[in-house]
Structure 1
Amino acid sequence: MRLFLLTFCLLSGIVPLIAQRNFKLQSPDGRLSVSIQVGKRITYSIVHEKDLVLSPSPVAMELEDGSAFGVGSTLIRQQTTTINQEIRTTLYKKSSITDHYKELVLEFREGFNLVFRAYNEGAAYRFISTRQTGFHVKNEPVVFNFAKDYDAWVPYVKSKAKDITGQYFNSFENTYTYTPLSKMSPNKLAFTPLLVALDNGKKVCIAEADLESYPGMYLVNSDGATSLKSNFASYPLATEQGGHNQLQQLVTSRAPYIARCKGATNFPWRILIVSASDRELPDNDMVYKLAAPQRINDLSWIKPGKVAWEWWNHWGISRVDFEAGVNTATYMAYIDFAAKNGIEYVILDEGWAVNLKADLMQVVPEIDLEKLIAYGKQKNVGIILWAGYYAFDRDMEQVCKHYAEMGVKGFKIDFMDRDDQPMVDFHYRAAQTAARYQLLVDFHGTYKPTGLNRTYPNVINYEAVNGLEQMKWTGPEMDMVTYDVTMPFIRMVAGPVDYTQGAMRNATKRTHRGINDEPMSQGTRCRQLAEYVVFESPLNMLCDSPDNYEKEAECTAFIAHIPTVWDRTISLDGAVGQYIAIARQKGDYWYVGGLTNWEARTMEIDLSFLGAGDFTAEVFRDGANASRIASDYKKEITDIPSNRKMALKMAPGGGFALKIYRKIK
């Protein structure tokens, strides 16, 4: 009888109704649940304990041929599994992480799977194509429906373009706009991660992971509702050389689709990280967990560390017999400084290759690169080269081969300023090619990390952060102090940040000025020290000049010897936009860093994680006059109290940094 009715419906042109199926996926601890409804369309919602995190939101993917994943799709089977495993990490904020989740795989007749995962700390979903032939994705309408007009921290694209298409060209650097969802600018793209404040002090951070051969996701609210919707850069059909010093590729025309895909394709994870308290966010691992596993077998050559950097301090060397700048003598001085202080690398930033040629094989005559590499090797200091995107991409294989054979340790690749599909592909090609020649990669001028640093651990850092470089040309109108205690809860959730801290010229809100030749930071000296603990950064710049560091021996010793990858990380306390304290362990040493906003604050930190025994701490505190003279600080050595509680006072824009070790008897 059922067969007869189905046949009758098909022959008569009547489309049978698709019966709705409901599924519920709970996190391992049972506190978070994902409800999925599969019918003519697919929706999902998320509840944490009794709090609604996400109202029912549709899930779909539109193809260029007019078909769609998730609309009128026929479910043929489902499977639920529980995974509980340890991931041994590489160059990360902890040596291993627990990967514990429940997973629901929904398989559809139309040639795709839809996968949901529920973690204790959030939820994620992705599409997987099981088709045999290639296709084009017209759009992926990702929607996040919220029940109320919640406040959000929104990182808008920094662009002068008024149209959306023009905003796809951007550096993924900006401060956060704190606004109700309904008041978001309807004509501005926002990039992820983006943070929304829920009821009862909870937050949800929207992110993505495993972004491979697919454009990155922007978010927009164009109708003043309480929903966020995705927006993707369309596939570039034509580009032309241009932009910064002719080192970029500018898109001149785009296709009516966002991605060209092979038949079998894993699409990016759409992630909602849920926190019950703000301090959980800086220590979240979901982006790393959801990234593709590493594709490099031998990791022995990948060396994290710190970099003596010349660009921020404008080659600021004095009291020498040569004119400081882009020349061999200057870089030999930086190598001497690095060697003296145990700093692993020196970078040659923009200027070592002939300008406007976009050709990395043309070195300026003022630089003897072979001499610098040999001198660095003699002093146990590696050389990293800055590279404009197009100059690197146009002859990637030859550039990597040539400079690897010369002894260069890696490249800082800059000015990509896009995240459409071909640009994402470039990042994977660059990582893979560099790995083949045992070269590190620091992606600057790029989109946020989405787990590529797990897949290719030679990708040792990312910018996509409104870093200290901004202080060279902006004054008090840019509030970096507030940004410093906001970014770790949002952008840093995605992965490491090439923020480039370490300024020895420090200023208050009143005294800060943007001065290119002698730049300064906002906030106190101890704030700069603390940022080496708080900010995750496997390749960490020392942004100031050797001259300034030589004058500040205590501070220089602290940041020169601090680790950049860690065995354990513990988020001690924090409130978005107000303050943060993080502890990190490497071997026998613990480091603790704390930051405040422009409010003076005393923070009591709990050091019970130290366990039994007697411990000593080297403490860098804001000085008594740090509220007026930002460079004022005090270093003291003290025993950790038996009750494991310490109260640390911070000046406005201040911070503190501790190095803790077992007491020597």
Structure 2
Amino acid sequence: MKLSNRNGWKLIPALLLLFTAQGVTAQQYELNSKDEQTRIRIQVNDRITWSVSKYGQVVLPEVVIGMTVNGTVLDEDPEVTSRRESETAESFEAVLPVKSRIIENDYRELQLKFANDFELHFRAYDHGVAYRFTTSRSGNIEVDSETLEISFPAGTTSYFPQEESMYSHYERSYLFKGIDTIRTGEFASLPILFNTKDDLRILFSEADVFDYPHLFLAGSGSKTLHAQFPKGVAATKPDPSSADRNVIITEEEPFIAATEGTRTFPWRFFVITNDDADLIRQNMVMQLSRPQILEETDWIQPGKIAWDWWNANNVFGVDFKSGLDTRTYKYYIDFASEYGLEYLILDEGWTKSTTEILECNPDLDVKELIRYGREKGVSLILWCLWKPLDDNMEEILDTYAGWGAKGVKVDFMQRADQYMVNSYTEIAKACADRKMLVDFHGAFKPAGLRSAYPNVISYEGVRGNEHNKWADYITPEHNVTLPFTRMAVGPMDYTPGAMHNAQEINFSVSFGRPMSLGTRAHQVAMYVVYESPLQMLCDTPSAYMQDEKTARFISGIPTVWDETKVLHAKVAEYVAVARRQGDDWYIGGMNNWDERSLEIDLSFLPAGTYEMTIFQDGINANTYAEDYRIESRTVNRSDQLSMDLAKGGGWTAVLRRK
């Protein structure tokens, strides 16, 4: 099969069936996946509804969709004027492969054209379904509202990232809740994972979200959830308690989006499977999002990054007083260089103030640090707040690029309305013009931007390690829920690498000297299990250098992957994956608080002999979480191993072909 570079989204010359548009009078349409296991049935009567069956079972009994544009309800008494069906098989290569270098995109599509200047597109994949609206109106339009009502089978439960407001960092715990217990007024950001009483998993999210707000799902105290969207923002004022980063929305528009009249709208998709591993294998956001816009991408380099903020610059064993100053950051650069880390981030505190971000604080010389880093082979990424960047983007990015910074970490966006979605795009484009990377923090989920602009190297939008500084809810159970929920829609800047680890009975909250729940090996395994082309080492360089074995092991793990195999997967309980870069394989496993052993079958390996180095829980890790051991052995594809996991444990192996 020939590959597309996806810069132009060329179809592969594989099987392609196309039925030309024709008048249709029937009010019921069907679309099946290629494996014939997934069936979409669409009903067009006085409204538009559809349902999904999988493996012969009704999985989504009824989904109601609609849109109101310029005061006109598009789906009111809809009339289908033509239909078109197609079958597509294509592949493209990812610039930053977080899961696999080659992404297959095989599906069947049904396009229904309606009399009211709109279309509905449905896609059926072997592992899921998707739909979107398109409109073909002259000039600009206002989208007043969009309807999505999803009815689930009785007894369906959810992993529900419940929000208190749509003004949010989107860093939530996944609450296990029955659908009918989600009350009116309760809502969640995406993605959301559902489980039917027949043990089918349904992951819901969206893709190709451009010039449009993100979708939230709200409860009704019944088996039906419905969409809600942030309105357009008409006016804001600074929040007196934190004027540098927070705003108060004082006026909203009557619409959710003011946009072009001829356009495609976001895809909404459902991954449907009886195998938890499919939630990790699938790549729906990339499959459904628009093609790459950037022509040159060789300058986009993944890597690992030393981070200062989580560890509060607590370096020790040195002959200088640490702080937000040039000397301390040269120490970070020396560490990064010694351990082969590609980047250092200067987080909050490097600028004159959080709003005066064109100047350094008096104790720090960023130009000197960039020069010193270049000498040592370490590039710098600069943190900044979104609000001052939005106010003066061109000058700020010109200045940072002129200094030689390789990227920005933009923080505290906290919104998902149309203006903010467009701001992400503007930042991505402006940084790409200057050959700079972007890491979004205080951010909503990935939803297609990194497909068009692969310099968007990672997103936060996850309740990650930083929360250990002030809370005790970043548990191993939470950590093994994330691969099936938040990570299922794109790269996740969880910021692993805590070197102060504790079992539940020994854990305490400390903002200045944080620790993690679970074992040291649990943290190490995140470097294989969690997907992020920019993977941080969150702890102080002094702690890593004090335990050189752990630091060397972590620093040798790549951040992008040619291939991924899911070996074991059960939501909120355990996960084990094998990933390949070149000829080398890496295996990572994590579990919840339940001690267990998982069998690892190495038959996925190509023929040959491999030297395997294993980083695993020590014999006393159940009581002393920092206990670990490293061992090496020779293996081949006929071998089977036991992955023994302590409570909140982990297991990581590096396999190099001999």
Report 1:332-481 matches (<5 A). Answer: 332-356=330-354, 358-475=355-472, 478-481=473-476
Does 2:578 match 1:573? no
2:542 pairs with 1:547: yes
Give the AA of the match of 1:229: H
**Aligned AA for 2:129?**
A
Query: Match of 2:511?
Result: 516
Residue 68 of structure 2 aligns with an amino acid whose one-letter code is: E
Q: State the match for 1:26 in structure 2.
A: 32
- Which residue of structure 1 lines up, in the alignment, with residue 95 of structure 2? 90
SS of aligned partner of 2:615: strand
Q: 2:123 aligns with which of 117, 121, 128?
A: 117
Letter in 2 for 1:318: F
1:362, 1:643 → 2: CA distance?
59
Q: 1:259 maps to what in 2?
A: 257
**Contact 2:603/2:637 (<8 A) preserved:** no
Residue type matched to 1:366 in 2? Answer: D
Q: CA deviation at 1:610?
A: 0.1
Post-superposition CA distance 1:254-296 (Å, at most 9, x none): 1121111111121111111112211111121011111111110
Query: Which deviations, in whole Å up to 9, do the C-alpha atoms of 1:417-454 show, x marking residues without a partner?
Result: 00000000000000000000000000000100002111
The 3-state SS of whatever aligns with 2:655 is: strand
Check whether the contact 1:20–1:39 (CA below 8 A) recurs between aligned residues. no
**Does the CA-based 8 Å contact 1:235-1:422 persist in structure 2?**
yes
Structure 2 distance, partners of 1:351, 1:150, is 46
Contact 1:241 1:249 in 2 (8 A): yes
User: Aligned equivalents of 2:88 and 2:25: distance in 1?
Assistant: 30
Letter in 2 for 1:391: P
- Mapping of residues 174-253 of structure 1, within 5 Å: 174-222=172-220, 224-242=221-239, 244=242, 246-253=244-251
Counterpart residue identity of residue 407, structure 2: G
Structure 2 segments unaligned to the other structure (5+ residues):
1-23
Per-residue deviation at 1:74? 2.0
Distance 2:635 2:126 in 1: 33
Kept in 2, the 8 Å contact 1:468–1:499? The answer is yes
- The offset of 1:404, in angstroms, is 0.8
Cross-structure match for 1:538: 533
Mapped partners of 1:340, 1:564: distance in 2: 18
The answer as to whether partners of 2:153 and 2:196 remain within 8 angstroms in 1 is no
One-letter amino acid matched to 1:446: A
Q: 1:595–1:584: structure 2 CA closer, same or farther, 3 Å change rule?
A: same
Matched with 2:5 is none
Query: Percent same amino acid at aligned positions?
Result: 38
Q: Secondary structure at the match of 2:409?
A: strand
Contact 2:467/2:474 (<8 A) preserved: no
C-alpha deviation, 1:149, in angstroms: 2.7
Q: Secondary structure at the match of 2:341?
A: coil
- Alignment partner of 1:132: what SS? strand
Say if 2:47 is the partner of 1:41: yes
- Which residue of the partner structure matches residue 657 of structure 1? 652
Match of 1:55 in 2: 61
**What is the Cα deviation at residue 400 of structure 1?**
1.2
The answer to whether the aligner puts 1:311 opposite 2:309 as a matched pair is: yes
CA contact (8 A) 2:612 2:653 kept: yes
Is 1:489 equivalent to 2:484 in the alignment? yes
Offset, 1:562: 0.9
- Could you give the per-residue CA deviations for residues 601-620 of structure 1, whole angstroms, max 9, x where no partner exists? 10112221103222221011
Contact 1:417 1:445 in 2 (8 A): yes
Q: Distance in 1 between matches of 2:556 and 2:206?
A: 34
8 A Cα contact 1:302 1:458, kept in partner: yes
Offset at residue 517 of structure 1 (A): 1.6
Distance in 2, Cα, partners of 1:198 & 1:123: 17
- 2 CA distance for matches of 1:251 and 1:467? 27
**Are 1:69 and 2:74 counterparts?**
yes
Equivalent AA in structure 1 for residue 153 of structure 2:
A
Deviation of residue 355 (structure 1)? 2.4
The residue type paired with residue 376 of structure 1 is G
The residue that corresponds to 2:553 in the other structure is 558
* In 2, Cα distance between equivalents of 1:138 and 1:605: 53
Q: Structure 1 residues 20 and 70, CA, compared in 2 at 3 Å: closer, same or farther?
A: farther
SS in structure 1 of the partner of residue 543 of structure 2: helix
TM-score normalised to structure 1 length: 0.93
- What amino acid is the match of 2:570? A
CA offset digits 1:57-84 (Å, max 9, x no partner): 2110122x33122222221110000000
SS of residue paired to 2:370: helix
Residue identity in the other structure for 1:31: Q
Bigger shift: 43-52 or 237-246?
237-246
Once the two structures are superposed, residues 430-487 of structure 1 have per-residue CA deviations (whole angstroms, 9 ceiling, x without a partner) of: 0000000000000000100002111100000000000000001113xx1421111101
1:523-578 C-alpha deviation (Å, 9 max, x unpaired): 00111110000000100100011110011111111111211011001111111110
Q: CA RMSD in A?
A: 1.3
Aligned mates of 1:554, 1:271 — CA distance in 2: 43
Which amino acid is the alignment partner of residue 332 of structure 1?
A: K
Residue 322 of structure 1 and its aligned partner are, at CA, apart by 2.5
1:310–1:347 Cα contact (<8 Å) kept: yes
Distance 1:218 1:249, change over 3 A: same
2:17 match: none
Q: Which amino acid aligns with 2:200?
A: K
Contact 2:138-2:261 at 8 Å conserved across structures: yes
Task: Say whether 1:629 aligns with 2:624.
Answer: yes
1:639 is displaced (CA, Å) by 2.2
SS in 2 for 1:60: strand
Alpha-carbon deviation of 1:19? Answer: 6.2
Aligned residue-pair number: 633
The equivalent position to 2:595 in structure 1, one of 597, 600, 625, is 600
With over 3 angstroms needed to count, the CA separation of the structure-2 counterparts of 1:439 and 1:504, relative to structure 1, is same
State how far apart, in whole Å, the 2-side matches of 1:582 and 1:261 are: 42
Deviation at 1:245, TM superposition (A): 5.3
Shift of 1:370: 0.8
Instruction: Name the SS of the counterpart of 1:30 in structure 2.
Output: coil
Cα deviation, residue 20, structure 1: 5.2
Alignment partner of 1:615 is 2:602: no
Partner of 1:79: 84
Tell me if structure 1 keeps the 8 A contact 2:476–2:517.
yes
- Tell me the alpha carbon deviations over residues 645-664 of structure 1, each in whole angstroms, 9 at most, x when there is no partner: 211111000010000122x3
Give the corresponding residue for 1:326. Answer: 324
Range with greater deviation from structure 2 (628-637 or 31-40): 31-40
CA contact (8 A) 1:244 1:415 kept: no
Residue deviations 1:221-276, cap 9 Å, x none? 12x11011101011111012336451234311111211111111211111111122
Instruction: Look up the equivalent residue of 1:583 and give its one-letter code.
Output: A
Question: What letter corresponds to residue 35 of structure 1 in structure 2?
Answer: R
What is the CA–CA distance in structure 2 between the aligned matches of 1:363 and 1:28, rounded to whole Å?
57
- Alignment partners' CA distance in 1, 2:650 and 2:538: 18
Q: Which amino acid aligns with 2:592?
A: N
Distance in 2 between residues matched to 1:572 and 1:636, nearest whole Å = 21
Query: How far does residue 399 in structure 1 lie from its aligned partner after superposition?
Result: 1.2
In 2, the alpha carbon distance for the partners of 1:644 and 1:117 equals 41
**Alpha-carbon distance in structure 2 between the residues aligned to 1:642 and 1:206:** 36
The answer to whether the 8 A contact 1:248-1:389 is kept is no
Change (3 A) 1:396 1:23: same
Note the alpha carbon deviations across 1:311-369, whole angstroms, 9 max, x for none: 0010011232332111111111000000011100000000111225x232132111111
Deviation at 1:168?
1.6
Structure 1: unaligned runs, 5 residues or longer: 1-17, 160-166
Q: Which moved more, 1:393-402 or 1:495-504?
A: 393-402
